[in-house]
Amino acid sequence: MNRRHFLWGAGALATLAGLPRRALAAALGYPRLLEGPMIGASTPDGFTVWSRASGTFDVAVEYAIDRALSDAKTTPAVKARADEDLVTRIDVSGLEPDTSYYYRIKMDGIADRHQPLPFRTRTAPAAPRPIRIAFGSCARVQLDPHQPVFDAIAAMEPDLFLWLGDNIYADSDAEAAFTDIYARQRSVPSLQPLLRSVPQLAIWDDHDFGYNDSDGDNPVKDMTLRLFRRWWANPAAGQPDTPGVFFRHSFGPVDVFMLDGRYHRDKPSAPDGPAKTMLGAAQKAWLKRELKASKAVFKILASGTGWSSAERGGDSWAMYLHERDELLDFIRDNRITGCLGISGDVHMGEANCVPWSEKGGYDFYDLVSSGLAQLLSPKFVDQMPEVRLRAPWVGSANFGILDFRFDPEPVVEMSVRNVIGAPVWDTVSVKAADLVNGRQSWKTAIDTKETERRIRAERGGSYYGAEK
């Protein structure tokens, strides 16, 4: 009996050895995705699909307007290479603007057995229409492997999602640690519908750049940059002569300036002054050129850390006020309209404002969301931003929403949403007409309670003192 089993096994192996490659794959294990797919940058005529294969397969995207893929086309295949950790980014191009497309991944010509049905995404608009941009920061899979906030984000049906840093908590100088945590975060089940349907853009902050509070002296920043570029499908990363993760992306009448506040950063503890920088000279020069060139109605300046003066003693823009004010002066002096800020990092939701209308410019808003999956922190009791528009939110995981409308006039409505998607306070609504030199808007945007707290503090009392 044993000899008979042995001979049968040897014969079966010989038979398998003679099978074509595709049949052998079906017999011994199926080509599939380890992570993904994820939609990266989207334009009016195409989108990028990121995925990570289970082997060195030829990866392609099959796509169609028809759900049944009856009119499907297939992109040229891209080899998943071991030296890129089997990650591919495939551009699907030649498409119609603002149109839904169905797509699926094929490896060696075979659809993934575990993901046989097509997913759906949409190309970017070429003309003004309502646009919803969601964003967030601080996703710690080690703390929360379920992350229900992404169910709420997907239900909001955003057109674009922005990751503002601490997208993983690697806190390491070992490549294996980054790869492991990236893979675990990218595989969170609640995140999958959002990744597969909505374009994802990202910058980093300290925990996915290096260790906590890392700056430009991080000795492994070239390694973490290489891995960041591998795991995200941004349209660009830095400039040919300036490394980093910064880039500009246009989405309809909105330009998004994704900034790198880590790679070139001076130590936060250094004395502030004209020479101290968070962005580095080359990135700052790039930002100024791109802002001047932008014709977008709204311009989002996305930073990993907060724009206001609130977090004294931390590592936000509060420790780099000379450079921040230089940028706000540049916007004013060059009459660049429509700028507003978003940020993360602080483990709470905020709506703050830098009242640059008092210096001849216009008020610079900063909507803050943190964290997607992280412990919340009530440290706002020790903080004092220039203007706090709403009470900070520390009740649950949260995300930010920017709703842009252009008819009958351009306006943006800014809100922070809780873990089930409900707004945590009244929306902050700002017209494009308010984001021009000489216009003050924060006094009409501020919540009545925050006005009372502000007046009390100006009179020498405590901002968060006892209330009658």
**pLDDT tens, position by position, 274-285:** 999 999 999 999
Asked if the model's pLDDT at residue 26 lies above 60, the reply is no
Same domain, 137 and 67: no
Confidence of residue 11 (pLDDT cuts 50, 70, 90): very low
* pLDDT score for 5: 46
CATH code of the domain in which 175 resides: 3.60.21.70
pLDDT average, residue stretch 358-379: 96
Asked if the model's pLDDT at residue 330 lies above 70, the reply is yes
Confidence of residue 465 (pLDDT cuts 50, 70, 90): low
Same domain, 59 and 102: yes
Asked if the model's pLDDT at residue 7 lies above 70, the reply is no
Same domain, 286 and 157: yes
Q: Which of 229, 159, 155, 163 is nearest to 371 (CA)?
A: 163
Measure the CA angle with vertex 393, ends 307 and 387; round to 5°.
40
| Structure-block tokens of residue 387 | 């203007």
Q: Which residue has the higher pLDDT, 462 or 325?
A: 325
Confidence of residue 13 (pLDDT cuts 50, 70, 90): very low
Same domain, 150 and 96: no
pLDDT average, residue stretch 95-115: 95
pLDDT average, residue stretch 442-450: 97
DSSP class of residue 124 equals: P
Same domain, 161 and 210: yes
Nearest 10 degrees: Cα torsion 461, 356, 265, 243: 150
* Average pLDDT in the chain: 93
Last residue of one domain, picked from the residues 67, 95, 122: 122
In the chain, the number of structural domains is 2
Same domain, 264 and 395: yes
DSSP per-residue string spanning 327-363: HHHHHHHTT--SEEEEE--SSSBEEEEE-GGGGTS--
CB count within 10 Å of CB 305 equals 29
Same domain, 283 and 422: yes
Same domain, 163 and 113: no
The answer to whether residue 161 sits within a structural domain is yes
* pLDDT score for 464: 79
| Structure-block tokens of residue 464 | 């968060």
To the nearest whole percent, how much of the chain has pLDDT over 70? 93
Same domain, 364 and 251: yes
Same domain, 256 and 169: yes
Q: Which of 99, 51, 56, 44 is nearest to 75 (CA)?
A: 51
The answer to whether residue 23 sits within a structural domain is no
Asked if the model's pLDDT at residue 8 lies above 80, the reply is no
Asked if the model's pLDDT at residue 14 lies above 80, the reply is no
pLDDT average, residue stretch 227-254: 98
Which residue range is the domain that position 86 belongs to? 31-122
CATH code of the domain in which 64 resides: 2.60.40.380
Same domain, 135 and 112: no
Instruction: Say if CB 164 and CB 344 are below 8 A apart.
Output: yes
Nearest 10 degrees: Cα torsion 369, 371, 376, 378: -20
Instruction: Say if CB 89 and CB 105 are below 8 A apart.
Output: no
Same domain, 260 and 401: yes
Last residue of one domain, picked from the residues 61, 93, 122: 122
User: Is 379 exposed, middle or buried (CB count within 10 Å of its CB: 0-12, 13-18, 19+)?
Assistant: middle
Confidence of residue 379 (pLDDT cuts 50, 70, 90): confident
Q: Report H helices in 121-160.
A: 149-155
The answer to whether residue 77 sits within a structural domain is yes
Instruction: Say if CB 437 and CB 360 are below 8 A apart.
Output: yes
